[in-house]
Amino acid sequence: MAPDVHDRGRAELDALWARGRDFLGSRYALLGGAMSWVSERNLVAAISNAGGFGVIACGAMDPDRLAAEIAGTQALTQRPFGVNLITMHPQLDDLVRVCLEAKVGHIVLAGGIPSSATIRAIRDGGARVVAFAPALVLAKRLIKSGAEALVIEGSEAGGHVGPVSLTVLAQEILPHIHDVPVFVAGGLARGDAIVSYLEQGAAGAQLGTRFAASVESIAHERFKAAFVRGNARDAVTSVQLDERFPVIPVRGLANAGSRAFLAHQADVVRQFHDGTLSKDEAQLSIEHFWAGALRRAVIDGDVEHGSVMAGQSVGMVKSVQPIAEIIDDLVEQAIAAIVKWQQRTER
Ligand SMILES: Cc1cc2nc3c(=O)[nH]c(=O)nc-3n(C[C@H](O)[C@H](O)[C@H](O)COP(=O)(O)O)c2cc1C
């Protein structure tokens, strides 16, 4: 591509996601979606240093552990990064305080609709609030409560997912939300796909799966190898066997663990029928099945029995690449798509 053509494409991309870049303070409006056990200082700093916006996954960390992770990340990058907090964490207020004291600029609230009190506390403390909007009504409510940016995440994503694909969520939400930047997530692995959402009004994109299998990710080599091997169809959501015993849908690679989960549910339901287990005990037993399973897969490399959370975009992970190379690929694909469009409209 001729340099001037490329420059014009890049300028258009900069303009298309300017709102997202301004909000995040990063070179590109590309968020590294927080991934428990994976999104720690090394990956987060690598994403921010490469021009994206890394986000620490607090998960179940306690306040001291989070403070250490933030300090560790600050030692590795001068660029902005955020922290993802789960709203049902029992020490949420303390975690918010830790972020504010460490001057973290952006807090992403996940795992439920955050209270306006939490949103206000974060804003009063000088940080910006990002929240997940699973539907248009909730997007509007979150903005009223003070959320300054939204993420809409389709069911293609890895980890805990809602029932609606990004294709549909984007059409439902993007044309109607103008007050705050909206970032799209779920199933994204190429820059041209990201451009198509920017054209629809998104301010930027959030990716998880592609970054999890990067060189800088501390995930076990076997975890990364499973991503390289995996096809889109292998990244399935957890199956619920009995409507009386709800299972939170989590998308990950099918393995012996996911098959054992089905057998476990069948066993628990049988024990409930026998009267061996009460309804509450049966539900608890189902919920406890996966306790510690993500850590087993990510850190210990047990990809057969652990929880190998991955999105459908896993099929587009072809090798373990450095973060800078992944981000560069995404940006160049985005520019190429824009240039194609510019050349078509000028014909
Ligand atoms: C291994 C893994 C762990 C994840 N853990 C979390 C988490 O702790 N909190 C969260 O908000 N999202 C979590 N996610 C979702 C990501 O932040 C991101 O939104 C998602 O991966 C985007 O879709 P993609 O996987 O298709 O790129 C996780 C995803 C993966 C693959």
| pLDDT attached to residue 23 | 98
Q: Which residue has the tokens 């076990």?
A: 220
Tell me how far apart the alpha carbons of residues 225 and 161 are, in angstroms, rounded to a whole number.
23
Ligand 1 centroid – CA 335 distance (Å):
26
Ligand 1 centroid – CA 182 distance (Å):
17
| pLDDT attached to residue 262 | 96
Domains identified in the chain, total number: 2
Low-confidence ranges of the chain (pLDDT < 50): none
Report the pocket of ligand 1 as residue ranges, CB < 6 Å: 33-36, 38, 57, 59, 84, 110, 153, 156-159, 185-188, 206-209, 212, 309-311, 313
Mark whether 25 and 101 lie in a shared domain.
yes
| pLDDT attached to residue 26 | 98
| pLDDT attached to residue 187 | 98
User: What pTM does this model have?
Assistant: 0.97
| pLDDT attached to residue 347 | 73
Q: CA 141: distance to chain centroid?
A: 21
Mark whether 206 and 76 lie in a shared domain.
yes
Mark whether 339 and 278 lie in a shared domain.
no
Q: Which residue has the tokens 């824009």?
A: 338
Ligand 1 centroid – CA 173 distance (Å):
20
Q: At 49, which CATH number?
A: 3.20.20.70
Strand order in the sheet with 30-32: 30-32, 204-207, 182-185, 149-153, 128-132, 106-110, 82-86, 55-57
Mark whether 131 and 14 lie in a shared domain.
yes
DSSP H helix total and E strand total for the chain:
15, 11
| pLDDT attached to residue 1 | 83
Ligand 1 centroid – CA 345 distance (Å):
37
Mark whether 240 and 280 lie in a shared domain.
yes
Mark whether 277 and 336 lie in a shared domain.
no
Residue nearest to atom 7 of ligand 1 (CA): 35
Residue nearest to atom 8 of ligand 1 (CA): 36
Tell me how far apart the alpha carbons of residues 293 and 287 are, in angstroms, rounded to a whole number.
12
Residue nearest to atom 13 of ligand 1 (CA): 35
For residue 224, being part of any structural domain is answered with no
| pLDDT attached to residue 85 | 98
Ligand 1 centroid – CA 251 distance (Å):
9
For residue 225, being part of any structural domain is answered with no
Could you list the residue range(s) of the whole structural domain that residue 239 is in?
231-309
